[in-house]
Amino acid sequence: MTDLKIQRRQARKRRIRSRIRGTADCPRLSVFRSLTRLSVQIIDDVSGRTLVAATTKEAKVPLTVEGAKKLGVLVAKKAKDAKISTIVFDRGGYKYHGRIKALADAAREGGLKF
C-alpha cells in the first residue's frame, strides 16, 4: 500500500470522525480492515470505553464478504446482549462496498438500527 493511499484514507477518516460521535444512548460502530482480519468495536466516545468488540478471528470466519456477514451478525448479537439497539456507523474511511457493506447490512439484519 502506498503512502498516498494511506494518507487519503486517514483524511477521509478524520472527515468522518469530525461529524460522528458515539454516546451512551447511541454508540459508534467502528470498523477496521487489515490484510488478515476485520475488527469491529462499539464505542462510547463520551466515556472513552469500548462496549462490544468482535473480529473475524474470534468469529472463526475467513476474510471474505461471507465472513463479514457472519461478523455483522455476531456483533449485532453481542450488542443485543449488552442492551444496545441504536448505533452510529463509522466506516473508518473505507469505501462503503464489499466487506464493509456486507458487515453493515448483516448488523442491520441482526437488529441494530443506524
Residue 40 in this model has a pLDDT that exceeds 90: yes
The 10s digit of each residue's pLDDT in 72-83 is 999 999 999 999
> What is the average per-residue pLDDT within 106-111?
96
For residue 1, the one-letter residue type is M
Residue 1 in this model has a pLDDT that exceeds 70: no
> What is the average per-residue pLDDT within 34-50?
94
The 10s digit of each residue's pLDDT in 60-74 is 999 999 999 999 999
Q: What is the pTM of this model?
A: 0.88
> What is the average per-residue pLDDT within 6-17?
92
For residue 92, the one-letter residue type is G
Cα distances (Å, whole numbers) of residue 25 to 1, 44, 50, 70: 37, 9, 14, 25
CB 94 within 8 A of CB 33: yes
Report the side by side order of strands in the sheet with 88-90: 49-55, 38-44, 28-33, 88-90
The fold for domain 3-109 equals: Nucleotidyltransferase; domain 5 (3.30.420)
